[in-house]
């Protein structure tokens, strides 16, 4: 957009145009303070120039001045009410400021104008999808395909159709997109995600492998491969994929959560897992899940770990409504023969998640130990009911 405005300014010389040109060059170079000075001066010289206001809105946004950014955008709307290029600039501004609904509306107006490029309809559809309006996204994505039947537009329509509840039709378009572009990591991921949703793990893994062949360091695809292997119960391969995600981008939380479900299968990976969780918990000391999962890893390494109990209590202090943290602490206290403390934690775990069978099992054991056989019987029956095979 900055480049387009610089071209326009070659035709519009004058003091305000010169200041706008200087401001745009500074903005392009990331010199935000200089850009702000030039553009604010230009706005005083020529307050009816919408390009000045759209440029100022972006400068204020980058300077984290949301009120000034919104005011500048409103001025651009008023002064550029009939200018399609301003509509597009406003769409980009609202998109960057996290407001996809007005961004979508302005981009749709631009897409329906004579100034629109061939990708405008697709951008508008994508923005409507981000705004939670998938039906409008479907309509615009269908129009986009009529203009250009690209892999990107097929992918967009597929995601929009799934969002409105037409999953089979949506998956056809995702498959078509993948057929046209098997090495696009986002298209690979979108199609694989649809396959994972209805548990076609083998097919999903095939799609992901094609993407990873071209993009071996893509964390999104690695994560999806881990999920596919987890669904296939190929735990060693799943652990390998999740650990690779952590090595590439340790800030992504999902691999830690999945690994936490497979600790009993960790085997030779346990040392690397423990190191990864130590780093996660140290980076995010206020993350309850990080403290909980580090405690679980430590207990797998050593059932008598002295660090586990403080970590579990810290996790509960951060999130008192996590049933699993109460359960893990209850089991640990039971092992240490602190039966009143263990029972209190297990009862709380059951209150938070009555459908999990294991808290009932451990509660039954403790009720037996403390001489409450009727309560033990009740908990044992609940455990048996929850673990019994379901019947048609």
What is the domain-level CATH number for residue 94? 1.25.40.10
Based on the fold, state whether residues 106 and 68 are members of the same structural domain: no
**Domain end among 31, 48, 81:** 81
Based on the fold, state whether residues 93 and 77 are members of the same structural domain: no
In this structure, is residue 235 part of a structural domain? no
Based on the fold, state whether residues 69 and 108 are members of the same structural domain: no
Based on the fold, state whether residues 13 and 74 are members of the same structural domain: yes
- Residue-range definition of the domain harbouring residue 100: 87-172
Based on the fold, state whether residues 331 and 355 are members of the same structural domain: yes
Based on the fold, state whether residues 55 and 123 are members of the same structural domain: no
In this structure, is residue 93 part of a structural domain? yes
Find how far residue 77's CA is from the centre of its chain.
Answer: 31
Please provide the DSSP assignment of 183-226 as one string.
T-HHHHHHHHHHHHHTT-HHHHHHHHHHHHHH-TT-HHHHHHHH
What pLDDT shows up at residue 1? 53
For residue 98, give every residue at least 6 positions away whose Cβ sits within 8 Å of its Cβ, in sequence order, or none: none
In this structure, is residue 243 part of a structural domain? no
Based on the fold, state whether residues 105 and 150 are members of the same structural domain: yes
Please provide the DSSP assignment of 48-61 as one string.
T-HHHHHHHHHHHH
What pLDDT shows up at residue 308? 97
In this structure, is residue 193 part of a structural domain? no
Per-residue pLDDT tens, the chain, 392 aa: give them: 544 544 344 334 444 568 888 888 888 889 999 999 999 999 998 899 999 999 999 999 999 999 999 999 999 999 999 999 999 999 999 999 999 999 999 999 999 999 999 999 999 999 999 999 999 999 999 999 999 889 999 999 999 999 999 999 999 999 999 999 998 999 999 999 999 998 999 999 999 999 999 999 999 999 999 999 999 999 999 999 999 999 999 999 999 999 999 999 998 999 999 999 999 999 999 999 999 999 999 999 998 999 999 999 999 999 999 999 999 999 999 999 999 999 999 999 999 999 999 999 999 999 999 999 999 999 999 999 999 876 44
For the question of whether the overall pTM of this predicted structure is more than 0.95, the answer is no
Residue tagged 């961004």 (tokens): 103
Going by the DSSP 8-state scheme, the letter that residue 177 receives in this structure is: H
Provide the domain count of the chain: 3
**Domain end among 53, 81, 109:** 81
List own/partner pairs for 121-130 with CB under 8 A and 24 or more apart. 121/147, 122/148, 122/150, 122/152, 122/153, 122/156, 123/91, 124/91, 125/156, 125/157, 125/160, 126/156, 127/91, 127/95, 127/100, 127/103, 128/100, 128/104, 129/156, 129/159, 129/160, 129/163, 130/100, 130/104
**Domain end among 81, 99, 127:** 81
Q: What span, in angstroms and rounded, lies between the C-alpha atoms of 391 and 389?
A: 6
Going by the DSSP 8-state scheme, the letter that residue 21 receives in this structure is: H
What pLDDT shows up at residue 14? 45
Based on the fold, state whether residues 75 and 11 are members of the same structural domain: yes
Find how far residue 111's CA is from the centre of its chain.
Answer: 28
Based on the fold, state whether residues 57 and 92 are members of the same structural domain: no
In this structure, is residue 223 part of a structural domain? no
Contact indicator for 353, 359 with CB cutoff of 8 Å: yes
Q: What span, in angstroms and rounded, lies between the C-alpha atoms of 95 and 141?
A: 18
Q: What span, in angstroms and rounded, lies between the C-alpha atoms of 293 and 242?
A: 15
In this structure, is residue 375 part of a structural domain? yes
Q: What span, in angstroms and rounded, lies between the C-alpha atoms of 123 and 141?
A: 9
What pLDDT shows up at residue 313? 98
């Amino acid at each position: 957009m900055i480049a387009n405005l610089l071209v326009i300014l070659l035709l519009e010389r004058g003091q305000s145009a010169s200041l706008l040109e200087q401001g745009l060059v500074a903005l392009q170079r990331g010199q935000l303070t200089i850009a702000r000075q030039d553009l604010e001066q230009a706005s005083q010289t020529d307050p009816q120039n919408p390009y000045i206001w759209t440029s100022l809105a972006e400068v204020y946004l980058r300077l984290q001045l949301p009120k000034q950014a919104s005011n500048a955008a409103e001025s651009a709307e008023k002064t550029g009410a009939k200018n399609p290029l301003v509509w597009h600039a406003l769409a980009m501004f609202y998109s960057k400021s996290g407001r996809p609904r007005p961004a979508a509306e302005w981009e749709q107006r631009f897409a329906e104008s004579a100034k629109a490029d061939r990708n405008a309809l697709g951008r508008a559809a994508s923005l409507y999808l981000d705004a939670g309006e998938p039906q409008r996204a479907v309509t615009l994505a269908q129009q986009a395909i009529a203009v250009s039947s690209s892999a990107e537009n097929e992918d967009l329509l597929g995601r929009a159709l799934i969002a409105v509840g037409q999953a089979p039709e949506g998956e056809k378009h995702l498959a078509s997109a993948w057929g046209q572009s098997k090495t696009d990591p986002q298209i690979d991921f979108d199609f694989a995600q649809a396959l994972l949703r209805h548990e076609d793990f083998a097919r999903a893994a095939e799609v992901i492998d094609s993407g990873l062949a071209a993009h071996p360091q893509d964390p999104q695809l690695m994560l999806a491969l881990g999920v596919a292997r987890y669904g296939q119960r190929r735990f060693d391969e799943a652990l390998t994929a999740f650990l690779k995600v952590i090595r590439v981008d340790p800030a992504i939380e999902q691999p830690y959560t999945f690994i936490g479900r497979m600790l009993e299968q960790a085997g030779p990976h346990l040392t690397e897992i423990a190191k990864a969780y130590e780093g996660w918990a140290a980076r995010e000391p206020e993350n309850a899940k990080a403290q909980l999962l580090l405690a679980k890893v430590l207990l797998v390494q050593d059932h008598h770990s002295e660090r586990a109990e403080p970590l579990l209590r810290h996790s509960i202090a951060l999130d008192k409504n996590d049933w699993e943290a109460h359960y893990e602490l209850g089991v640990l206290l039971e092992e240490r023969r602190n039966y009143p403390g263990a029972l209190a934690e297990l009862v709380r775990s059951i209150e938070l998640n009555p459908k999990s069978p294991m808290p009932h099992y451990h509660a039954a054991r403790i009720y037996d130990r403390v001489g409450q056989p009727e309560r033990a019987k009740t908990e044992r029956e609940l455990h048996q009911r929850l673990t019994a095979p379901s019947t048609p």
